[in-house]
Structure 1
């Protein structure tokens, strides 16, 4: 497979994966159940489906082989499980647009955590993007200040920080297997929500939406996105994830007529614009660096 063909395949996989993922918030809304009930079934079904895929692909999974990697895998599993629970809780307490817009700032929180915890150099353009994203988050909070949705926005902000912690950990340990982490995080999500839930008291239609989400939508999206990282750099894959920030609220608006507040639209524009511009500049610098090294190699 040529480099051009591999890249095209990666872009196709990433686009399809994020397109499938963008229906996540709508499915949670359609379940019409308490967030803890959704969390139990979502976590359990994701664990079963991702675990089944792990069994099928067991020969291709490279398990941690040191104590440090096992500790990192456990920490990443806990963080991802907590983030999934927080996503459901946030969607249940505020507008979908608010949740996905605030969550979109997690890569920039990850850059800040990398500098704070590991003193990883942060380019000035990333620092500027962080400031713009924070302004966007404040715009979203302005739209729900003093309103019932403020709790959901706070949960979304906590979600962004938790997700940033998971992203930072995976950046430091790229050898950790992703798919088993997804399966384990499903178990963590279910255990977090179980003490507060009544998962067997839902309407029959709710179980159908939960099955679609946990057995098909989430595993398929995860598999497509994870597969795309074999053909594209992670920075480019993260650009595709911004599609969810745009499409997620649109699906909910189209199906359930949930309005998009103007401050949320403004905040989303600032956050998505800051992340996209920062990532594009970063990719261009990487390509220039590779091009420069190739020219030096040819000259020698």
Structure 2
């Protein structure tokens, strides 16, 4: 890694992080515990892993690394904690494909929020892409409404909004290291959900599925994806998330044969295509201009 350029380090961290996280939705489907118990475990296990890792890395400077994130880091942690909850509830109420398609809208959510919070105005092509994706989302929503999956799609849409909000807050706070904020987010997740936990007892396959999921498909990939923006622009990192939107439903289809509707496949393909074309164009030129 030492001999790699910053760009290559960013690509490596992003690619490995996304490839590792793609089976996450499958494992959420495989476990038997209820949603609140699952969110609690997805908070407490990553929290302690990150806590131990940061203590080992920072040693005497651990508390300094925590306090330096400031209010922006705390707000980001709160947003990420809410994201952890809405993501699970989305998957519990709709197809994996629907949730991940909604999540792919996060870059456009960030662009929309940047207008109000950063006074940055997207270019014309971004507005066009946002409008097209909005139409495609309505197309998917209509199918979900008829199929009784609208609640899950709505939570997926909220998750995308929160992910976009997180990226904007990080930019506002100019955080150089997001891992302490991520650790606090997992603590908040644990704190929020502990009041709704029905049982912490794991049985059957959950005894090993839950820890494996929380360590390998939550903590490790999120750490990689959190470090990636240190070496390459955030919008380039977001391009790799298209892989999760594509591979996540494939894992679920291969193992448990969950098949998305034709409307989701069509709408999702159009959203992913729009996102890819837009991102490729954005990588060629700066995508935002400051308001006068």
- TM-score computed with the length of structure 2 as normaliser: 0.89
Alignment map for 1:75-90 (pairs within 5 Å): 75-90=75-90
Change (3 A) 1:2 1:215: closer
Contact 2:110 2:164 in 1 (8 A): yes
- TM-score computed with the length of structure 1 as normaliser: 0.87
Distance 1:270 1:152 in 2: 20
Contact 1:40 1:199 in 2 (8 A): no
Tell me the secondary structure at the aligned position of residue 50 of structure 2. Answer: helix
Contact 1:79 1:162 in 2 (8 A): yes
1:73 alignment partner in structure 2: 73
Change (3 A) 1:151 1:286: closer
> Where does structure 2 lack aligned partners over 5 or more consecutive residues?
288-292
1:237 alignment partner in structure 2: 237
Q: Deviations over 1:18-41 (max 9, x none)?
A: 000111111111112211111011
Q: How many residues align?
A: 285
Distance 1:95 1:164 in 2: 22
Contact 2:23 2:251 in 1 (8 A): yes
Tell me the secondary structure at the aligned position of residue 121 of structure 1. Answer: strand
Confirm or deny that 1:246 pairs with 2:210.
Answer: no
Distance 1:148 1:201 in 2: 31
Q: Deviations over 1:214-243 (max 9, x none)?
A: 123222112322343343222211111111
Confirm or deny that 1:99 pairs with 2:99.
Answer: yes
Alignment map for 1:89-128 (pairs within 5 Å): 89-128=89-128
Distance 1:122 1:239 in 2: 17
Contact 1:31 1:209 in 2 (8 A): yes
Alignment map for 1:272-287 (pairs within 5 Å): 272-286=272-286
Q: Deviations over 1:132-175 (max 9, x none)?
A: 11122112212211433221111111111122211111122222
Distance 1:204 1:33 in 2: 10
Distance 2:170 2:227 in 1: 16
Using the TM superposition, give the Cα deviation of residue 4 of structure 1 relative to its aligned residue in structure 2, in angstroms: 7.0
Name the larger-Rg structure.
1
RMSD, aligned CA: 2.3
Contact 1:91 1:152 in 2 (8 A): yes
Distance 2:67 2:39 in 1: 31
Using the TM superposition, give the Cα deviation of residue 183 of structure 1 relative to its aligned residue in structure 2, in angstroms: 1.2
Using the TM superposition, give the Cα deviation of residue 286 of structure 1 relative to its aligned residue in structure 2, in angstroms: 4.5
1:270 alignment partner in structure 2: 270
Change (3 A) 1:159 1:243: same
Tell me the secondary structure at the aligned position of residue 195 of structure 1. Answer: coil
Using the TM superposition, give the Cα deviation of residue 179 of structure 1 relative to its aligned residue in structure 2, in angstroms: 0.8
Corresponding residue to 1:63 among 62, 65, 72 = 65
> Where does structure 1 lack aligned partners over 5 or more consecutive residues?
288-300
1:129 alignment partner in structure 2: 129
